[in-house]
Structure formats: C-alpha cells, structure tokens
Structure 1
Amino acid sequence: MRPMLGILAILMLTTPLLAAGRPMTIDDLLAVKSVSDPQVSPDGQWVVYVVSELDRATDKTNSDLWLVSTRGGDPKRLTTAPGADNHPRWSPDGKTIAFTSTRGGSSQIWLLPLDGGEARPLTKLPIDVAGPIWSPTGDQIAFAAEVYPGKTPDETAAKDKAKEAGKSKALVFDRLMIRHWSAWDTGKRNHVFVADVKTGEAVDLTPKLEVNTPPAPFGGSEEYAFSPDGKELAFTAEPLKDHAWSTNTDIWIVPTQGGEPKNLMAANPGGDAQPSFSPDGTRIACLSQARAGFESDLWVLTVRNRADGAIEYQSKALDQPVLSYQWASGRSHERTFEGRIFAVVDDRGTESILEFIFTAPVKNANQSYVQVKGGINTAVQFAQPEEEIVFLRGDAAHPNEIYKAKTDGKGLTPLTNHNGPLLSPLDLAKAEPFQFPGADGDQVSGWLIRPPGFDPKQKYPVLFLIHGGPQGAWHDEWHARWNYAMFAAPGYAVVAINPRGSTGYGQKFTDQISQDWTGRVYDDLMLGLDHALKEYPFLDASRIAAAGGSYGGFMVNWIAGHTDRFKALISHAGVFDLTSKYGTTEELWFPEWEFGGTPWDKPEHYRDRSPSTFVKNFKTPTLVIHGALDFRVPDAQGLGMFTALQRRGVASRYLFFPDEGHWIVKPANRIVWWREIQGWLAEHLKNQ
C-alpha cells in the first residue's frame, strides 16, 4: 500500500523558518471570493458587480450583488438572500438593476430599484432563465431560456414533467450531435426571449429555430444585443445543419416585435460571435473567424456598415485573438464614421486591453493602442463622462478584483479588495516570464513560479505543467482549478511552457500544432524544460514530474512512451487512443481538423500519434484522472491508459469522478483532486 504522506510535510522541511508567509492550502483556495461581471451605471458613477463564495457547510456557492463608486470608497452589498444572484444590468435611466436570482427556487429575472425598496420578480416562468439585458428604450428585457422548438415555456415544463414521470429513460437519436461536453441532447434548445418590463410577459423571438441561440454550452448574453432604437435584436446561432462537424456560427437579426430572423453572416463559413451595434446604430460589430472547421482560427474584430453590409474595419493586422470588446463611442457624419472600441486581446501569456480607433471607410489602416498590460484584464466597461474604463484585473498571485483607469491606461486604481484579508498571510509567488529558442530556433515563452519560503541556496523539485487545448496558453492568471500557487505549495518550483499551438503569439504559431501534435510541440516542451534547468540553478533536474489536462493529458500519455526523464506523471482527461476517441467524442470538427481527416482517411496519422501505440515503453509512475461525464474526451480514454499501465506493471493509480465532466468543479471533488495529486507528487518527488 502506498504510504500516507502529508500534503505539505515532505518538502517544506527544507524551507526557511522565517518565510514571508505560509503556503496556500486547499481551504484557502476554496475560500477565495470570485469577483465578476462589473457593470458601470449609465452616468458612470457606480459599478454593480457579483461576489460569489463557497458555503462549505452546504457545498454550494452563494452569489450576491455589490455596488461601489467609481470614485472609490467602501463597497456596499446590495443583496443578501440565500442562493445565486447574478448577471446585474442597469436600466437605461440608471434607476433599476435587473438580475437573475434563484431565491424563488428557479432562476428568474428580478428588478432591484436603486432608490430603496425590495427586489421584485419580473418573470415567473416554469423554466429557468438567464442573461437579462435591457432594451435601450427601457421597455423590454431580452433573456435566454431552454425550450423545445415550437413549444412555449409552459409546454416545455409539461413535457419535462412527463418525461420525468416515465419509467423508461431511453433516448432515441437520428443525427449527431447526441451529447455535448457533459450533457446528453434532450431536444431542448436555447432561445432568445423578450419580456415586457411592466407586465413580465415574455415572447420567444426564435420559436422555430432548432439550434441554440446563444450557442451551447458556454454562450451568454454577449451573444445577443439590441439595436439603439430597440426595434431589432442581433444574436448568434449555431449552424442549422452538420452541427457535429461544423464550427460555423452566424449573426442573425430579428425584429423585437416578432418576425422571421435574417442571417447577416451566411457568406462567412467560419465562426461569428458577440454582435454589437454602434451607439448610433449605423454599424454592427462582431468577432469573426475566416476558416471553416477550425475552432481556434484567429478571432478578428469586424465592423460592418448596416446599410450595405460592407466590412469597414478588421483587426487582422493585430494577429492576436480578440476575446471580447465594447463600443465606447460612435458618431456618423455625411461621409465618415468615427468609432472607438475597447477590447481584450490574448497577448503572449497575458490579456491586454486595447483601444481601437477608426474612421470609416477604412480597409487596411487599422489603428490599435495597448492601454493596459500585465496579468489578466477582462470584462471592460466604458465609463462616461470621466473617460475611464472599469475592468477585472488579476494575476498568478492575485484573484480578480475591480480596477479603473483612464482610457489611455494611466491612473490604474483598484476599486475593490475582497480577497485582501485572505491573501495577506500567504506566500504567493509571481509568475516570472522567460524565453528560449524553440524547435525551429524561434522564440518560445514560459513561466516560472517559485515555491513558498524560497531559498536560492536550496534545490527544489520541479512540477512541469502542460496546458490543454491544444490551442490554449498558460497565462499570468489566478486559476480556480489549475492554480500555480497550489501546485507550488508543498515546495515545488513550477515550470509552465507555452509551446507552438499556444494562442496570443501570432496565428502562425497557433497553427503549427495542427496535424503535428507530437513533433515540434514536444521539442518545444523539452527544450523549454532544459532551458529552465540551466537558467535556474535551484531546480533539481533529478526530481521532475509532469502534469497536464486534456491535450496536456494527451502529451503526458505521449511522454510516458517516449522519455524516462520524469519521476512521476499526472494525466487528467488525456487522450490515450486517437482512433477510438474519434468515434466517441462529440465535436467532430476538432479531430478532423487536427489530424487532417477521419481515422479511415488518415489511419497512419491517427495510429502513429496515439500514445496507445507506444505502451511497451511505459515505465514512469502515472496518476490517471477522468470524469464519467466527460464527453469531449470520454472516460474510456482514461480507463484505457490505466489498463495499459497496470498490464505493463507500472506503478499507477486511477482517480475517477462519476459526477464530473472534463473539468473537476464540485468543491468536495476538488479537495479529493488536490489531495491525490499532491500525495502522488509527494510519494515520487521525495528526497532521494
């Protein structure tokens, strides 16, 4: 039996007694308050936002609305009812906040008057609703809800009740996709509704659409927007056919009084998302991808003329993905249009805020200015009349808090500090960037995180992290799950490389992993680790473990068959056999793009890049982790990896979560996840 080793005891014995603070624990991580969704009032004087925290007694998250002045001062808690109060949005006159709340049992829209008085429910539907946004005219609120196409909310609830009462739970399908991420297709779809602010009466604007709008499973209210006159609603919808092997999404527009939706982006075969009208209504912006079938193609900010659909601005020259954006101003003249947009851009391991300034018509004369750099900056809001921006800001050592700055990035000032008391006794290291020559001699980047109580005279075991995607990146961020400080807490130095395939380093660099999952990216990873070992003498080359999730888990499985340099491996939700994974995953566009076709088109490619092909080389002790509800990388992949390790006689352990999907999110399960990972590392990286 594996000896039971304390999470912190093994390696903290060598750290100085007079450290600046103590290492973080899982209790600390779970106690962190999530600050999110800042929304600036129409007069620019106030910010309403959400604070969420875990109730350890019930293992549930409670969310409340808070208010803080843009001039500073102590925040004020606006809601106190148990449950989840989320997604606050100001009315155009600034007198009322609409939000969703579960205080009545289901998720409904509530209205909170700012001049005093209690919140009241607006909608009282028999189904959950989400994502309320106000019409600029203040008489309607749009929101999203799941219904059976052609059915009302009442009919949807009745059908669900009948299904629940039925003795058989059999499902019948005639087409893909039959399940997505962690849920089976029940036939319901997200639809966009509008509710009358006075009566709460709601109307489905997309009753006949048999696809999700906003797209499932992660689309929110950023995927629909009112026109400035309130007469139209633009929204994002999935493809009407070939859903399982198409990445195409389009921007549609529909009258708010009802009518047939019109597809504005049918000519673009790639993805379109996040529609938004210019303040004067003469333009419509969105994010677009040009290539069909590639979910990680460059997201480009695109501005079109409403009158003729002509593209007047695109951010292609930036060569970095635009993640989100907000109009700051826009005014039209007889011949020109002037506009400003603030956007969040994936920027070499950080997320920067850029300001786009343009005058139409412009074809290639793009102007963009980086205003806020460093760490992760998201959820940007423009605040008039002070010409300020309000946003969330965090980094590897700090969870998100709300900040403000002038529109040129100067005067950066925190407005909240909800986690300060929690963080003050902890020793949390910054993420230190480094660069090195990669597989082609080009520059590749990585991060180093020192352990708590760091002493440069000591030698520290190394935990080598490999990110998922594969088109993703390790950012200078506070992560709720794969948290650098938690990995470093027992006394490990953390090294995280952004090899080719990583986003934010130019689209060519991102593209270079497709159809080459095991070539140059593997070289980048090994070269990056070699560089770190040479550059930082306190890293112990004799005690290194590697861990990764999703594609990172695949690469850990690949490493198991190709090198013995690691003392231990941790594979979370990793692909073991590419051919079997193709037939059981849901988003078929992904393997078809990444491997150049189907397994019957490219059998050698699938076989030669499958970790299952190299099982005879497995020697390294490996912890395998998987969730039963993971439909992206089905759990048979984890079981196959564990079976191969056991059959080869390799020290291994299988951590299986029957109630989790691709990510481990439930608090009790997160505690087990960290306990097993840190126990595995302690066993195999202990002093020799």
Structure 2
Amino acid sequence: MKHGIVLGGALALSASVVAAPTTAPFDIHQLNGLSKLHSTVVLPDGNTVVYGVKKKTAAGARSDLYLQTLGSEPRRLTNNKSTEHNLVVSKDGKRLFFLSGRSGSSQIWSIALDGGEAVQLSDLPLDVDGFKLSNDNSQVVMQIRVNVECDTLACSKEKQDAHKKNKQKGRHYDQLMVRHWDTWGDGLRNHLFVAKIEGQSLTAPVDVTSGLDTETPPKPFSGMEEVSFTPDGQHVVFSAKAASHDQAWQTNYDLWQVPVTGGEPVNLTESNLAWDANPVFSDDGRYLAYLAMSKPGFEADRFRVMLKDLRSGETREVSPLWDRSASGIAFAEESHTLYVTAQNLGQVAIYAMDVRFGDKRPLVEEGSNSLVKVVGGKLFYTHNSLQSPNDLYVVGLNGSEPTRLTHLNQDLLNPQGLGEFQQFNFKGWNNETVYGYWIKPANFEKGSKYPVAFLVHGGPQGSFGNRWHSRWNAQLWAAAGFGVVMVDFHGSTGYGQAFTDSISLDWGGKPLEDLQKGLAAVGQQQPWLDTNNACAAGGSYGGYMMNWIAGNWPDGFKCLVNHAGLFDMRSFSMVTEELWFPEHEFGGTYWDATENYEKFNPVNHINNWRTPMLVVHGAKDYRVPLEQGLAAFTVLQRKNIPSELLVFEKENHWILSQDNLVQWYDNVLGWMKRFTMASQDSSAN
C-alpha cells in the first residue's frame, strides 16, 4: 500500500508558525534538527490522537504534547520544559496520564483533555520509569529501579544516595553479568510496583516482583510492552528471567503472573526454555496473546504468535506456517483478530491475523511501520521510509488508502535534497535470491558515474531496509555525492527464518559472497554506480565485516570504515556481556568450539590487510568493547596502512549525542571522500 497519496486532514503542527520550506541540501545538521514523533495514544472515540513532538528551537530542544481530532488542526496540550512521555488515556477518554520530570523527578501526572493544568499523581522517592493503568483505571503498575537488598522505596533511595557519597568506588561481583550494554552492575533492578489510584494520589505501592531477583522489564531496551494487567485487574503478567547464576548465557525469558497485592509469581510459560515476551489480553478477557521463540540461547529466532485460551487453558501457535518473526501485536476490539507487525522483504509490514484460522492479510506493506492502536474500525500507526521520517497515519480496517495525520517536517526537510531509491535483487550464495537497496546521489545527473558508499548492517541478524535511520541515515551519503548500496545478505531478517539462521557458524562465508555478488550485480543493473570506486562502512557485525573484508577482499574497496567492529573472536567471546550471543553463533564457548571461532576470525588474516581504514569506537561499548577497535587500529598503524582512530569517551555501541554524530559524519564522509575523490581525479587525468 502506497503512502502519502491521501492527505485528508494532513496538517503541519501549527499552521500559524510555519516557516518557509527549506531548500537546503540534506546534511547531518538538518537530520539533527528534524522534529521527532513520540509517545502516541488514541482516545476511545477513535477520532482523536495525542502525540509528543520533540523539536529543536533557538533555545535548544523541547518537547510538547499535541491533541488532534481527525480532520482538524492540532492543539498544543502542554507547554513545559520537561518532556511528557509514556502516554495513557483514561477509559472515558477525558484525562491523559503521562510521565514527566517537571517536579524534579520522573513521576506520573494527569491532565484533563478539555483544558486545565496538569496534576501530579505520584510522589515517590524514586523515578517512575514506565507505567500502565488497569482496564478500570483504578490501579497503576509502575516500573521503578530499586536496590534488591531493600524492602521499601525509601530504603532504596537512602542506599542510592549513600552509594553516591561513598568514596570507595570498587565494584565487587560474584556472578555475571558484571556489566550490560553501557553500565556496570550496581545492585539495582527494574521491579514492578502496583498502587491504587485514589482521587489525585496513589496508595502505598506494592513490589509485586520482589520474589524475582532479575530485571523486569528486562534491560537494556524493553519497556512496559512486557507488562499487562489481567482484564479483571487482579493480576499482573510480565516477562522476566528466573533468578539464576546463568543470566549471561541463556535467553529463557518467561511470562509470569502475580497478584496485584503481591505474592509468589507463577510461571505461565515454564515449558518453553526459549524467549517469551509481549503479553497482550483481549478486551473480553478470553485470550492472552504473546510472542515466543523456540530455540534456547538464540536471540534472533522467529518470534511466533501464541494464543492462550483463558477459558479452556489451551495454548497454541496462531499461524505456525507463517515464516516471519512478529515484533508487535495488538487485539482488535473484538477478540478474533490480532494486528501484527513483522519484517518482510526489506519492509516492516502490518498484518491482520485471524486467531481462529491463522489467515493473514496485509494492511500496510511498504516502509517501516509500527502499531499504535486499533479502535473504531481504524488502525493508527507510525510510518517512515528511506525518504521520510516518522509521521502518524490512520487506515481503515477494510484496506482503504491510508491518511497521513501529521507532517512534522514539511518545513524542515527538503525532499529535493534526498536521493531516489529502489529495491533490487540478485542471485547470491547458492544461487538464492538476495535483496538490497540502492539510492541515487541527491544531485544525480543522467550520464554521470558516482562513487559508491557500500553500507553493511549489523546484528548480524538485522536489515538495512526501507526505513529512516536516526544514526546510519543512508540519505546522508547520497547527499554527499555517493551512490548508496545496501545488501541484506544471508543472515538478514525478514526473509524467512532459514535465511536468518544461515549466518550462524558461517559469519565470513555466505555473507561475504552475497556482498561481493551484490556489488557486482548492482553495478551491472545501474551503470551510474562506479563500483570500482567504492568505500565500505559498517557497524557492529558490519564493523566485523570491514575487518573480514580487509583480510579476505583486500582489493574490493578504496577505503573502509569500521565502527565498533569485532576484531578477535577469541577475546571478544570472553569480554562481551551477553554470552548467549557468541555461544549460539559459534556453537558453544570458545574452549568447546575453538575451531568455529577461529575459522572466521579477522585477526587470523591481518597479513593480507592493506586497505585504508577509519576505526570508530565508543569507550562505553560493553557489547563490543573498545579494545577490539584499538587492536584493529594498532595493526593498521604497525603495518603502515593509512588509518585513523576516532574514539568517543561517553558513547556506547551507538553514537547518541547529536554533537558527536556531527563529528562522526564529518570524519566518516571526509574519509570516504578522500579516497574516492582521489580515485576520480586520477582516472580523469
């Protein structure tokens, strides 16, 4: 289904303050200055939405909430320097609940949607990091980070304050994980607390997860999508691992159910030793839907859509023959239909799935889409693509054309400064079909040839598909004069589980062949791409591939950019934090599967290195620690290969600071231009 065709009711944020549309070329400053949609909620009437917009102003970034009725102009709902997020609307649609730090800490507030000032609902010693309301709005379940030695929030607050003042800063551990993503273990855990809502305040919260000494919601990326009240409000269901010493090398997240008054949690999915997640109840209380993997220890297995009939107790997979991995689920207002998001051939599509028969039909197929709400015969969702950042859309459940509700960046983004893109395919490893995307330079002129920016995604079970990326934004290379090529090699997601599985134990095999054949194929299909004048760049596994290319395809590129790349699989396997990842990908621990680790170990091929390489790393990267990048740079320097090192002291596996992102692109684009432009100049002479 195409986007942007029907624009009924599509409006800018505020027609009274719009500036003249920009004609500036797209660059990192423009990317950083774009408005960002967040925290969308739909009112029960099915005709009104509230959403947060973060935008850049002369005084700095700010975020406000806007209320918009379909077909009308949006109205600003809040005007405070603090960001409001985690939006929840009351059952009657009259009040909005949200998190805000406007009182000095993150607490729950509410505001009447017909006007008035916001009222603080919670006043707890610690930050509330997330929350949900029960169906009848009488209770709230909150995510709060507490000290596991404490029985009260006040105790946790005291211990956290004392720790900050303690001059002894040594950390002592007796089991893994000692650090995770970008933080060291500090004795704190995400726990769930339930409180009753009485007027404009809460009763004393009860820690309903005190019996589990594990994270819930799990770190580092999960949120309240992992938590649900049961329809009767008597229990909370959540995803968490059982407390055990093997947290770092197993992925056995289960769904647990606990009374709202506290007590011993009951494991609802004990028989499944793989990952269970995202519990969602039908409005009538009959069904529990959730996502479940089937391979223990594998984080990129297919998430199956599961359904538990709460009357009969039967649990089954809804569509067992569907070879896609679901990422989000929501019930229709009736209990017989689920709306499911899943990657599919370079897109993130939304499907309607009949829970009785498993039949599916796509509602939104192109671009990258995320569910917001199904209500009033309509599906609300967010949409972005390689040419457009996130905006809010609505589509009828009968398959009608989508209506775009927001135009957040119509005056900030010059569409003429973006490159035309198209998906392509070719025969890769074993003559199997592999997909990718190319993007023309923004200043494309027919008859000219352009240097290539060959971008390799991370994961490795990931995808550089049809999406707008806030960090690796392919249009920035196109705006800099490159033809961009991205290949979803064997191991990528959205092409069936066998395709995803095929990279395990074969990191440098099928993927490298796909990349080589893909670059050759797209060069033949699109003669304007000068594939003999190309630089490659990648992060994480993509950075690993830069190191692997340096030793196994040393004449393929004029230069390489290695961001957070794995360099030595032996050392990596013993210093990364989520040990289940290398142990699955290479068939066990290093000492049990040494041959597998060494077969595709970049360090074993450094004698072949001769391609200039820029190495980039974050010092707080505990997934692929800094030493991996330092080792690669050391080899490059000692072998007198043109090389540079860019280290960000406060960044993790990603570059999140907008100022640092400017420096990142200045260095990356400058490095790639240096070698491709030099090649162009020499060939011209």
Q: TM-score normalized by structure 1?
A: 0.93
| Other-structure match for 1:602 | 593
| Other-structure match for 2:178 | 178
**Offset of residue 426 of structure 1:** 4.3
Aligned with 1:434: secondary structure?
strand
Aligned with 1:605: secondary structure?
helix
C-alpha distance in 1 between matches for 2:421 and 2:265: 47
Q: Give the conservation status (yes or no) of the 8 Å contact 1:446–1:497.
A: yes
**Offset of residue 596 of structure 1:** 0.7
| Other-structure match for 2:500 | 510
| Amino acid aligned to 1:617 | N
| Other-structure match for 2:410 | 420
Greater shift in the superposed pair: 313-322 or 110-119:
313-322
Aligned with 1:366: secondary structure?
coil
| Amino acid aligned to 2:282 | S
| Other-structure match for 2:525 | 535
C-alpha distance in 1 between matches for 2:190 and 2:342: 28
Q: Give the conservation status (yes or no) of the 8 Å contact 1:64–1:86.
A: no
Matched, 1:303 2:307: yes
Aligned with 1:597: secondary structure?
coil
| Other-structure match for 2:368 | 376
Q: Give the conservation status (yes or no) of the 8 Å contact 2:248–2:580.
A: yes
Q: Give the conservation status (yes or no) of the 8 Å contact 2:131–2:224.
A: yes
| Other-structure match for 1:362 | none
* 1:315 corresponds to which of 293, 312, 319: 319
Aligned pair count? 652
Provide Cα deviations, 1:106-139, integer angstroms capped at 9, x if missing partner: 1111111113211111111121112221111111
**Offset of residue 143 of structure 1:** 1.7
C-alpha distance in 2 between matches for 1:403 and 1:626: 37
| Amino acid aligned to 1:622 | M
**Offset of residue 195 of structure 1:** 2.7
C-alpha distance in 2 between matches for 1:56 and 1:299: 44
Provide Cα deviations, 1:402-456, integer angstroms capped at 9, x if missing partner: 0001013313100111111112364212431001001111100000011112112
Provide Cα deviations, 1:518-567, integer angstroms capped at 9, x if missing partner: 11111011100000111111011231000000000000110011121200
| Other-structure match for 1:48 | 50
**Offset of residue 666 of structure 1:** 0.8
Aligned with 1:552: secondary structure?
helix
Aligned with 2:412: secondary structure?
helix
- The alignment-based identity, stated in percent, is 40
C-alpha distance in 2 between matches for 1:243 and 1:54: 41
| Amino acid aligned to 2:663 | V
| Amino acid aligned to 1:558 | W
C-alpha distance in 2 between matches for 1:558 and 1:374: 33
Instruction: Map 1:285-364 to 2 at 5 A.
Output: 285-330=289-334, 339-359=336-356
Matched, 1:658 2:652: no
Aligned with 2:46: secondary structure?
coil
Instruction: Map 1:273-288 to 2 at 5 A.
Output: 273-288=277-292
Q: Give the conservation status (yes or no) of the 8 Å contact 2:189–2:214.
A: yes
Q: Give the conservation status (yes or no) of the 8 Å contact 1:51–1:63.
A: yes
C-alpha distance in 2 between matches for 1:177 and 1:415: 44
| Other-structure match for 1:221 | 224
Matched, 1:81 2:80: yes
| Other-structure match for 1:644 | 635
| Other-structure match for 2:106 | 107
| Other-structure match for 2:15 | none
Instruction: Map 1:68-217 to 2 at 5 A.
Output: 68-69=68-69, 71-149=70-148, 150-198=150-198, 199-201=201-203, 202-217=205-220
C-alpha distance in 2 between matches for 1:54 and 1:445: 36
**Offset of residue 105 of structure 1:** 1.9
| Other-structure match for 2:8 | none
Q: Give the conservation status (yes or no) of the 8 Å contact 1:622–1:651.
A: yes
Considering only aligned residues, what root-mean-square deviation do their CA atoms show, in Å? 1.5
C-alpha distance in 2 between matches for 1:677 and 1:195: 50
Provide Cα deviations, 1:540-597, integer angstroms capped at 9, x if missing partner: 1231000000000000110011121200100000000000011110000000000011
Q: Do the aligned partners of residues 541 and 115 (structure 1) sit closer, same or farther apart at CA in structure 2, a change above 3 Å counting?
A: closer
| Other-structure match for 2:31 | 29
Greater shift in the superposed pair: 107-116 or 518-527:
107-116
| Amino acid aligned to 1:185 | G
| Other-structure match for 1:581 | 572
Q: TM-score normalized by structure 2?
A: 0.93
* 1:453 corresponds to which of 443, 446, 450: 443
Q: Do the aligned partners of residues 511 and 340 (structure 1) sit closer, same or farther apart at CA in structure 2, a change above 3 Å counting?
A: same
Q: Give the conservation status (yes or no) of the 8 Å contact 1:181–1:661.
A: yes
Q: Give the conservation status (yes or no) of the 8 Å contact 2:304–2:317.
A: no
Matched, 1:245 2:249: yes
C-alpha distance in 2 between matches for 1:312 and 1:233: 22
| Other-structure match for 1:388 | 378
Q: Give the conservation status (yes or no) of the 8 Å contact 1:313–1:358.
A: no
**Offset of residue 480 of structure 1:** 0.3
| Other-structure match for 1:13 | none
C-alpha distance in 1 between matches for 2:235 and 2:56: 39
C-alpha distance in 2 between matches for 1:655 and 1:273: 38
Q: Give the conservation status (yes or no) of the 8 Å contact 2:212–2:242.
A: no
**Offset of residue 76 of structure 1:** 1.6
Q: Give the conservation status (yes or no) of the 8 Å contact 1:210–1:240.
A: yes
Q: Give the conservation status (yes or no) of the 8 Å contact 1:41–1:90.
A: yes
Aligned with 2:429: secondary structure?
coil
Q: Give the conservation status (yes or no) of the 8 Å contact 2:382–2:392.
A: yes
